[in-house]
Structure 1
Amino acid sequence: MTGRTPRPRRSFIFTPGLRPDMFPKALNSGADIVCVELEDGIAPKDKAEARRNALALFERPQADDGVERIVRINSMRERFGIEDVSAILATRTPPPALMMPKVRTPDEVVILDGLLTEAGHATRLHVIIETNAGLEAAQDIAHCSDRIDALFFGGVDMAAELRCRNAWEPLLHARSRVVHAAAGAGLDVIDVPYLDLADPEGMRAEAEKARDLGFAGKGSVHPKQIPALNEVFTPTADQIARARRVITEFEAADTGLVVIDGKLIEKPVLREMHRIVAIADRMGA
């Protein structure tokens, strides 16, 4: 039994830990996930201040607004990551979820899971696959902890590690492997942001490719990208209606499969149906 709850993850945006005043703006951007940044976007000299600011945000009760709040810590293999984790373990009001960058092996996740359990924290985990070692171990990483809700594909760092262009075709194999790992573990999988703000059509095209490959959502680098991302990753009215029907039929049948419109549907599809309904509920549909 896991603590995973189907929810929309169509879009996410980072907000810097150094600027807590920007947190409300990010929460109102329309993104499904808002991530407070402690890692790459924060200079070493500012890490401690960003950490204090981020944890202070969660000392106050958070609104029940449907936005998923997470904090991107530094790598568990670095001093700053250890300091992030130590501070999180010491607080009585931990973030609801943490994003783990540059994960290479399952033991990083297992160790953090154990520490959170020891502290009595219910904090969830999101894991970025952005190293070649992480890609090789993606299947094992995806299955190593029930705290994991999603895998994120880190295309920028992955391209650097693979010595290839940061473009769709060169990274297609790596993307596909992350999708397969997430699907096998019943996790959502989120694609890397599209970096060219001056090319909205290119972003939409890449988001559509990611959706068709199996991604549940995609990151943004600016709030103006979010409406298009939400649109691309939002199911159609027909898909929503079908999802509600499939869930209702399964609840009534109480079996591992049902027949709808002459087609056999097995229970594993229910997870995707619940995710579609979660998106519909967030839209008020």
Structure 2
Amino acid sequence: METHTDPIARRSMLFAPGLRPDRARKAMAAGADVVCIDLEDAVAVAHKDEARSLVMPLFAEPHPSGCERVLRINGLDTVHGLRDIEALLSLEHVPDAVMMTKVRSAAEVQLLDELLQGNAARCKFYVTLETNHGLENVFQIAGASPRMACLLFGEVDLSADLRCKRTPQALLYARSRVAHAGATFDLDVMDVPHIHLEDMDGLHAAAAHAAELGFTGKSCIHPTQIPVVHQYFTPSEEEIARAERAVAAFKAGGSTGLAVLDGLMLQKPVLRASQRILALARQSKGAVSQGAQA
């Protein structure tokens, strides 16, 4: 599991195809908290080697402020996945994180942990849950490595595997289970992108639903979606003010581990939640400032 004093703001993630490093550079300046450069679904098999050769030099370029760079690799059960690993091991400058897709078991994460050594040992892990087996084993997957940073909900493939409709109600249990696993291991949890670019009302509804369930962010397929996503995953001024009051109440309570706020007895989980809200508020404001400078 990822451990740090302040959580990284992972409210939004913008995808860029591996064959277009120019788009990846533009994506890093678009204001998203995370940019994922995709060597898997976004690249046809015939062009995998070309995309890999184009992408790897990007990580030697100056790191964009306030943006985490993630590389989505091919499956470890494919020759191109193994070539991706070989290329990562040869790099002096590595991505911040590596994304695995269609993960079914903790053993797959542990194998990646063993393979990515040397400079690549610094890479954190993003794991996409998009199979029935992965959903069943999500708690073991979430705790499989100290490098785990984020779980992603893969709605399209998962709904097909579950034989259900792609509706909020049909996928409520699946989303909640992934959110529960993320909370258990203190990981970020990111929702699937809203694929209808002109349906902004649908994006608002989907982001609000994910935030209510405990997701910490949502993927995007276009920069115009980022401000809407940030609206739902950035602490509001009201939430920040209440968190500040809660932290102050715990401080006033001394070593008891209890606090009273507005007539309610609060215990340590509320303190942790309040501290997280304040940390995310600091991170988010920093990301906004850096984005404005860019």
Same structural fold, with TM-score higher than 0.5 when normalized by the shorter chain: yes
Q: Which residue of 2 aligns with 1:58?
A: 59
**1:1-285, aligned counterparts within 5 Å?**
2-4=2-4, 5-63=6-64, 65-117=65-117, 121-247=121-247, 255=255, 257-261=257-261, 262-281=263-282, 282-284=284-286
- Distance (Å, rounded) in 2 between the aligned partners of 1:131 and 1:96: 25
> Could you tell me whether the CA contact under 8 Å between 2:69 and 2:95 is conserved in 1?
yes
Pick which of 102-111 and 274-283 moved more: 274-283
> Could you tell me whether the CA contact under 8 Å between 1:257 and 1:264 is conserved in 2?
no
- Distance (Å, rounded) in 1 between the aligned partners of 2:150 and 2:164: 25
Helix, strand or coil: the match of 1:168? coil
Letter in 1 for 2:29: N
- Distance (Å, rounded) in 1 between the aligned partners of 2:214 and 2:58: 33
> Could you tell me whether the CA contact under 8 Å between 2:94 and 2:123 is conserved in 1?
yes
| Gapped regions of structure 1 (runs ≥ 5) | none
Shift of residue 189, structure 1, vs aligned partner: 0.7
Pick which of 193-202 and 273-282 moved more: 273-282
The alignment yields a C-alpha RMSD, in angstroms, of 2.2
Pick which of 271-280 and 27-36 moved more: 271-280
1:15-70 deviations in Å (ceiling 9; x for gaps): 1111111123211222111111111011111111222222211112313x211211
- Distance (Å, rounded) in 2 between the aligned partners of 1:275 and 1:53: 38
Paired residues, number: 284
- Cα separation, partners in 2 of 1:251 and 1:93, compared to 1, 3 Å: farther
- Distance (Å, rounded) in 2 between the aligned partners of 1:29 and 1:250: 39
Letter in 2 for 1:53: L
Shift of residue 175, structure 1, vs aligned partner: 1.0
> Could you tell me whether the CA contact under 8 Å between 1:12 and 1:31 is conserved in 2?
yes
> Could you tell me whether the CA contact under 8 Å between 2:38 and 2:71 is conserved in 1?
yes
Letter in 1 for 2:8: R
Letter in 2 for 1:57: L
- Distance (Å, rounded) in 2 between the aligned partners of 1:46 and 1:140: 34
- Cα separation, partners in 2 of 1:256 and 1:117, compared to 1, 3 Å: farther
Helix, strand or coil: the match of 1:241? helix
- Cα separation, partners in 2 of 1:173 and 1:55, compared to 1, 3 Å: same
| Gapped regions of structure 2 (runs ≥ 5) | 289-294
Pick which of 86-95 and 271-280 moved more: 271-280
Helix, strand or coil: the match of 2:40? coil
Shift of residue 247, structure 1, vs aligned partner: 4.4
- Cα separation, partners in 2 of 1:67 and 1:243, compared to 1, 3 Å: farther
What TM-score, normalized to structure 1? 0.91
> Could you tell me whether the CA contact under 8 Å between 1:6 and 1:271 is conserved in 2?
no
What TM-score, normalized to structure 2? 0.88
